[in-house]
Amino acid sequence: MVALEADAGRLDGDRAHLGRNIAILLSVLLLSVAILSLGHGASGVSAWTVLIDWMTGQTVDVTDRVVLFDIRLPRLATGILVGASLAVSGAIMQGLFRNPLADPGLLGVSAGAGLGAIAALVMGGLLPPAVAAAAGWHLVSLSAFFGGWIAMLTLYAISTRQGRTSIATMLLAGIALAAMVGAVSGLIVYRATDDQLRDLTFWGLGSLAGASWTKLAAAAPLMLVALAASPLIARGLDGLALGEAMAAHVGIRVQRVKAAAILTAAGATGAAVAISGGIGFVGIVVPHLLRLVAGPRHRWLLINSALLGATVLVGADMISRTIIAPAELPIGIITAMIGGPFFLWVLLSNRRTLDA
């Protein structure tokens, strides 16, 4: 008994040690990328000169000030939060569905948010003027957010019977729901004008270009709460990896973990998609890479996913802002173009481990 406990303790210690070291490494990486990102941009404004001038009370050119404080800073903060949210949501969903390919899309969040955005872009003009004026140009974000939540809650209600959520039902009902949402989106797209179609295409490719303090103030609280709550369900997700019955036997309140996982992932993803459009790939690949390196325990996986997701997105955004400056390449193209081949390379070089 004693020997067994010591053994278990050591194994556990090994993983935790690795997870912690990776967390430290990723924090340093994130900090470096963030500093680099603040200093680089199409305009060639030096963040440090502006910052020093501003702090020492010298006159700062209004353009330079806007570039640093109203463009790069909110954009950096948005990138960090969105990247972290997408990666953590991905990790949670993969734990919940016990499938490395799961992502928040399975909750209907992405499809619902897409429908919300499309509806706002094409039919925003049908709203009563008072409502439209109050929402202003945040209408698309708001509509995407509520679209995502409505889709998720519907799916949750469909797959929950007598206080028990069936993950299998959720998966299949999600496919049906996505098809229905897709049909409605198609109908609206059919009505759209050429300009609106262009807007829709760009929305689907994702961008942090619309980042502003106002948007961030609206979306950040939800993402922060979801991120802060995620470690609380780490143990529950570890338990679910054994299967629902087994998890219940080892004392995990399965239904509560499921509900918490769904709410957390949907909250974080909904807010992220609402302010940045459709940025794919981060949610699947970041957790997967970390699982390959440090194993499947959720405690460090969730924390490290947040760090790596933020790093990847801030880095990708920096490329998106500068590669064809003064124009900008949508960030979804960058994440897929760099991430896809990299992911493939990781998979192929780990083929033996994966097949075993």
Partner 1 sequence: MTIRLTVAALLALATPAAADPHPEAQRILSIGGSVTEIVYALGQQDRLIARDTTSSFPAEAQSLPDVGYMRALSPEGVLSVRPDLILSEDGAGPPETIAVLRQADIPFETIPAGTNADGLAAKIEAVANALGVPDAAKAPVADLRADLAALDASALDGDRKRVLFILSLQGGRVMASGTGTAADAMIRLAKADNAIAAFEGYKPLTDEAITAAAPDVIVMMDRGEATGSHDAAYADLLAMPAISTTPAAKAGAVIRMDGLYLLGFGPRTGQAARDLHRAIYGSGHGGA
Backbone φ/ψ region at 192: left (φ over 0), alpha (ψ -120 to 50), beta = beta
Look at strands 160-161 and 164-165 and give their pairing: antiparallel
Site string for partner 1, 94-123 (x = CB under 8 A): -----------------------------x
The two three-digit tokens of residue 81, written as one number: 């939060």
Of the candidate residues 328, 337, 338, 347, the single one contacting partner 1 (CB under 8 A) = 328
Cβ distance to partner 1 smaller for residue 43 or 160: 43
Q: What share of the chain is helix, strand, coil (3-state, %, to 5)?
A: 80, 0, 15
* Least Å from the CB of residue 65 to partner 1: 9
Does 125 interact with partner 1 (rule: CB under 8 A)? Answer: yes
Q: What's the CA gap between 268 and 277, in Å, rounded?
A: 13
Does 70 interact with partner 1 (rule: CB under 8 A)? Answer: yes
Does 59 interact with partner 1 (rule: CB under 8 A)? Answer: no
| Residue 323 per-residue DSSP state | T
* Least Å from the CB of residue 67 to partner 1: 6
* Least Å from the CB of residue 178 to partner 1: 24
Among residues 356, 228, 229, 345, the alpha carbon closest in space to that of 288 is found at: 345
Site string for partner 1, 329-348 (x = CB under 8 A): -x------------------
Neighbour count for residue 211 (Cβ, 10 Å): 25
Does 77 interact with partner 1 (rule: CB under 8 A)? Answer: no
Cβ distance to partner 1 smaller for residue 1 or 62: 62
Of the candidate residues 49, 58, 63, 349, the single one contacting partner 1 (CB under 8 A) = 63
Of the candidate residues 30, 34, 38, 72, the single one contacting partner 1 (CB under 8 A) = 72
Does 194 interact with partner 1 (rule: CB under 8 A)? Answer: yes
Residue type, 105: G
The two three-digit tokens of residue 224, written as one number: 């922060």
Does 130 interact with partner 1 (rule: CB under 8 A)? Answer: no
Neighbour count for residue 311 (Cβ, 10 Å): 25
Distances (CA, A) of 11 to 8, 17, 37, 282, 289: 5, 10, 39, 30, 21
Q: Which residues bind partner 1 (CB under 8 A)?
A: 41-44, 62-63, 66-67, 70-72, 123-127, 129, 132-133, 136-137, 190, 192-195, 198-199, 202, 207, 209-212, 215, 321, 324-328, 330
